[in-house]
Amino acid sequence: MADQGGSAHGIARASRVRTEEQRKVELDKIAKYRELEDQVRSSVARGDTGPDLFQLTSKLLRLNPEYYTVWNVRRRLLTSGLLSKPSAASSPLTASLTASPTATTTPPSAASSSSSLSATQPSHASPTAGRSGTTADSPVDEAKTSTADATPRAAAVVAVVAGQKKDFDILKSELEFTIPLLLDSPKCYWIWSYRLWLLQQVIDRLSVPVARRVWQEELGLASKMLTRDRRNFHAWGYRRHVVAQLESPRLGGGSMVEAEFEYTTRMIRMDLSNFSAWHSRSKLIPRLLGERGADDSTRKGFLDEELGLIREALNVGPEDQSLWYYHQFLILNLVNPVGHPTLTPAFTLEDRVTYVTREIQDIKELLEDYDDVKLIYEALLEYTLYLGQLQGRKLDGAEKDELAEWLQKLKKLDPMRNGRWTELERECGLVEMESFGN
């Protein structure tokens, strides 16, 4: 049976106790599955290419979407017969499509998932031949038929349009086929990979406006998946890929930065604790300000607003690491201007010091009501040290007292990391070397 492919967030795995009856039912299911699998294998071995095999793959994939070999069988059925035959002039395209490795045989590691998803695209990219459309687009056809009779050419156009319609219907139906599978197994790499392959076929085979509409619907799907599980990183990476395609000239697109930024705002409103949304937001900001042609005062205003936003969020959720991550992103922007892109290049050293000092003050206010949240103390520590670095000076007595106090708190709240807190005490000159081992 299709698995959740790793736990969905917040849902514990439950171990099940089976009755004899349930066990029999499951053995039954296993037998049926094995029979189905044998049918598929023997059909493929025989070299079948008909609709029966196609139906069999549908059944098997519904039961086990992780069976990537069967996805490949399905792909081959599509390209070798079900999808329209390309004209003789574009047969190199067909060859390149079937020859390229679509599904990787080893599961991509989690860290490189988004890059592997986008990596499937270049293998299909054949810019000029990719544009199906009227015969006028294909230079080889043009040359071949330019001196020919009008009738065969008109017939060729009709054939291409009919072929496109057929392809559209097939590709749409294939996309729909994957939907219930995705709803059941939202993190199964093979389904996403197949979908991406279908969508690439859409770009290669259909006209620009049609292809664009399909990709726009895809964005809708990505949003829906993210509503179901806000932290499904497949869906976030997927979304970025879809947006990149929609922005590309191949789909006649323009920048979608404003809409995507607004999307992160909506996701945050839905759930503050959303690393992916805050992360996306941080990545979009430089482009956003660039496109808006923001001058220095606009940039300052923007930074003020973002700091205000994250401050409000921390006010209600100081224990949330994703919020501190974003706050740190904004602080680092002030503290690390050299060699790093910054939102506010016109800020003087004095400006930066003012801002960091104010942030430290505001965070101290949180301690009035939240005195046992370790992330607050960690932030205060880190930012006080940044302040010193910024001003190129050592910490003064009062600051050292504060640091010592915070580190004491951290030792109580986070005793597992006592080694780190003790070392920090030493580094900041808060204890003598002889107290090693306290």
Partner 1 sequence: MDSLGDTLWDVVICGTGLQQSLLALSLSRSGKSILHIDPNNYYGGADAAFSLQEAETWASSITAATDNDRGTFKSASITKPDGNTGLSFPRAYTLALSPQVIHARSKLLSQLVSSRAYRHVEFLAVGSFYIFKPTTRSSQKPSLVRIPSTREDVFFTTAIPTKAKRGLMKFLKFVLGYDSEQQLETWQPYADGPLADFLKNEFKMDAELQTYILALTLSLDGLITTRDGLSTIYRHLTSMGVFGPGFAAVYPKWGGISEVAQVACRAGAVGGAVYMLATGIREMEMSGDSIELRLTSGDTVKTRMLVRNDKNAEVGNGVSRLAAIVGSPLKSLFEALVEGAPLPAVAVITFPAGSLMTTSGKAYDYPVYAFAHSSDTGECPVGQSILYLTTSTTPDAKEILAQSLQLLSEAIDADHIPLSLFQMYHEHGRGSVASRPDGSIFNFPDASLSLLFDDSTLEPVHEAWKQVMGEAEVDTDYMTFPDREGVMDDEDMYD
- Which residues are near partner 1 by CB under 8 A? 29, 32, 59, 62-63, 224, 227-228, 266-267, 269-272, 312-313, 315-317, 366, 368-370
- Tell me whether residue 73 or residue 226 sits nearer to partner 1 (CB atom): 226
- Shortest Cβ distance from residue 35 to partner 1 (Å)? 10
Q: Are 177 and 58 in contact (CB under 8 A)?
A: yes
- Tell me whether residue 30 or residue 155 sits nearer to partner 1 (CB atom): 30
- Tell me whether residue 209 or residue 308 sits nearer to partner 1 (CB atom): 308
- Tell me whether residue 111 or residue 316 sits nearer to partner 1 (CB atom): 316
- Shortest Cβ distance from residue 64 to partner 1 (Å)? 11
Inter-helix orientation angle 150-184/189-205, to 10°: 160
Type of residue numbered 221 = L
- Tell me whether residue 113 or residue 274 sits nearer to partner 1 (CB atom): 274
Q: At CA 290, angle to CA 287 and CA 296, rounded to 5?
A: 130
Q: How many Å apart are CA 37 and CA 70, to the nearest integer?
A: 9
Q: How many CA atoms lie within 13 A of 128 on its CB side?
A: 10
- Shortest Cβ distance from residue 352 to partner 1 (Å)? 25
- Shortest Cβ distance from residue 313 to partner 1 (Å)? 6
- Shortest Cβ distance from residue 211 to partner 1 (Å)? 27
- Shortest Cβ distance from residue 229 to partner 1 (Å)? 11
First to last CA, the chain: 55
- Tell me whether residue 74 or residue 205 sits nearer to partner 1 (CB atom): 74
Looking at residue 199, the DSSP 8-state letter turns out to be H
Q: How many Å apart are CA 308 and CA 419, to the nearest integer?
A: 34
Q: 39 is written with which tokens?
A: 């049918």
- Tell me which residue has tokens 């800020």: 347
Q: Among 230, 240, 221, which residue's Cα sits nearest to residue 118?
A: 240
Residues 6 or more apart whose Cβ sits within 8 Å of residue 429: 400
- Tell me whether residue 134 or residue 227 sits nearer to partner 1 (CB atom): 227
- Shortest Cβ distance from residue 62 to partner 1 (Å)? 6
Q: Is 331 exposed, middle or buried (0-12, 13-18, 19+ CB in 10 A)?
A: buried
